[in-house]
Chain A
Amino acid sequence: MTGATAGVGVKRPPSVLGGVLLMAVRALTGAFAILTVLTSWDAFAATIVLNGQNLASTDPQAAGAVLGGVLAAYGLYLLLYLGLAALVFTGRNWARVVAMSFASVSILLSFADYALGGAQITLRTSLVSVTIDILILLALSSTQARHYARAVRAARASR
C-alpha cells in the first residue's frame, strides 16, 4: 500500500486518490459523531425510548448498554469502511463496486427523502454528507478509476 503504484506497475489516477480521501473524510465525520456522543453520554442515554417508555428513567444501566451497543456497531462499520477505502486504494475492483453501492444507496435514500418527504437538505442538515457521497460516486465511477481497477486486476492475473 505504499508508493504510487499498487505493487503491480499500474499508475494510480488522481480520481482514485480523491475518492479514497473522501471516503476517509466520511469515516472521520462518523468518528467525530461518536466522540460527540461519548462526551455527553448521559444526555444521549436519556433520549432512548423503548416501547414508548423512556428507558433511562426506568433502567439507566440498560439505556447505557443500548447506547454502547449502537456506538460499537457504528464504530465497527466505520472501521470496515476504512478497510474498504484501503482496498479501493490498492485497486480491488469489488471494493470499488461496494463503495459505489454504499454511496448510491445513501444518495438515493437522501433523494427519496428530499423528493417525497420534502426533507430540507442544507448546510445545517445533511448537505455536507450528501455532497461527499456524490463526490465519492463521481470519483470512483470515472473512466480513470475503472481502467485502474481493471488494469490492476489484469496485472494480478498475469503474475
Chain B
Amino acid sequence: MPETTPVPDPRRRLSAGAALDTFFFVLAGFSSVWLAVLLATESLGLGWGLLWFAVLFWALLAYLVLPRLHRILTRLYVPDYFIGRTRTSDGLLGDPVNLAVTGSAEQLHAALAAAGWIRADDVTLASSWRIVTATLSRRSYLQAPVSPLLLFDRVQDFAYQQEVADNPAKRHHVRFWRCPDGWMLPGGHRVDWVAAGTFDRAVGLSLFTLQVTHRIDEHTDVERDHIVVSIRQAVPESRLVLIRDFATGYHSRNGGGDSIQTDGDLPVIDLRAVPGQAGAVIELTGLS
C-alpha cells in the first residue's frame, strides 16, 4: 500500500466502507452455511424429492458456500505476495509458477503459435457451455477456455493449450501473466512474463470446493519441459536461461486438491534473440 499525502476525510470514509463490505462479506458467508443447514433439514421431509434437493444442495455448497468460506479464511492466512504459486478465485493456492518469458506480447504469441499451441477462449457463458457439452460428448474443442487463476491480484492475461486425443478433458495448457513494470523475480531476475503450465488429465470434482473441474497431472515438471522444448524447437534462436533451484523442490496440492511435485527449477525463455543464430542455453546455479 503506497502511502500518499494525508487527506484524512476520504480515506476514513473509504476504510469505513471497506469495513462495512467485510462485515457483509462475512455475514453472507455465515448466512449461506445456515441456508445449507435449512435445506438439509428440509430435505429430510422429502421422499423422492430428495434427489432433486441433493443436487440443489450440492450446487449451493460447491458454488456459493464453500467458495465464500475459503475466501474469508484464505484472505486471513494465505500470503498475497509472490511465492511462486498462483491462486484460485477462491484464494486457495493454485498451480505452481514454473516458467518465465522475456520478450514482447507479439513475440510470445508468434512463438506459441509456431510451436503448435492454440489460444484458449475467454471464459463466457457460451464457451463454458461448449466445453461441458464437448467433454460429455467427447468432441474436440481446440480453443476450450481455461479456469481463471490469479497472480499479481489479477486473472491470467491469456492461456494456450494443446488438446490430447480429441477430447477437452485431456490437454496441455499454460497460463501467462504480464509482470508489473519494474518487477523482478525473487533473486533479482527481470522477466516480462511468468507462466504456469500443467497437464489436465481428466475432469473431476475439486477436493476443496466440490466444484466440477479439471484434475491435473502430478508431474508438473514434465509439462514445463514439454512447453520449453516445443517453443525451442519452433523458435531455435530463442535463448534459454535455466535457473536451477529457483524454488526448493516440493510436493504439495493445487487449488483443486490435486497433488503436484516439482524440482524447483525455473526456465526463462528469451524471445528477443537475433533470428538465424541458434539460441544458447545458460544454466544458473546457486553458490556452493
Identify the A interface with B (CB < 8 A): 93, 97, 100, 104, 107, 111, 121-123, 127, 130-131, 134-135, 137-138, 140-143, 146
**Does A134 lie within 8 Å of B32, measured CB to CB?**
yes
What are the residues of chain B within 8 A of A100 when measuring CB–CB?
Answer: 24
**How many residues of chain B are within 8 Å of chain A by beta carbon?**
18
What are the residues of chain B within 8 A of A137 when measuring CB–CB?
Answer: 24, 27-28, 31
**Does A121 lie within 8 Å of B25, measured CB to CB?**
no
Cβ-Cβ contact count across A and B, 8 Å cutoff: 47
Residue B249 interfacial (CB < 8 Å): no
Interface of A is mostly: helix
**Does B42 lie within 8 Å of A127, measured CB to CB?**
yes
A-B complex: 3 closest residue pairs judged by Cβ atoms = A141-B24, A137-B28, A141-B28
Distance A122 CA – B37 CA, assembled complex (angstroms): 12
With CB as the reference atom, state the residue of chain A lying closest to B38.
A121
Residue B64 interfacial (CB < 8 Å): yes
Which of A137, A138, A142 counts the most chain B CB atoms within 10 A? Answer: A138
What are the residues of chain A within 8 A of B17 when measuring CB–CB?
Answer: 93, 97
What are the residues of chain B within 8 A of A131 when measuring CB–CB?
Answer: 35, 38-39
**Does B21 lie within 8 Å of A141, measured CB to CB?**
yes
**Does A141 lie within 8 Å of B25, measured CB to CB?**
yes
Distance A135 CA – B65 CA, assembled complex (angstroms): 10
Residue B173 interfacial (CB < 8 Å): no
CB distance from A86 to the nearest CB of B (A): 20
Can you identify 24 A-B contacts, CB atoms within 8 angstroms? A93-B17, A97-B17, A97-B24, A100-B24, A104-B24, A111-B31, A121-B38, A122-B42, A123-B42, A127-B42, A130-B38, A131-B38, A131-B39, A134-B28, A134-B32, A134-B34, A137-B31, A138-B28, A138-B31, A138-B64, A138-B68, A141-B24, A143-B71, A146-B21
CB distance from A128 to the nearest CB of B (A): 11
**Does A97 lie within 8 Å of B20, measured CB to CB?**
yes
**Does B27 lie within 8 Å of A104, measured CB to CB?**
yes
What are the residues of chain B within 8 A of A93 when measuring CB–CB?
Answer: 17
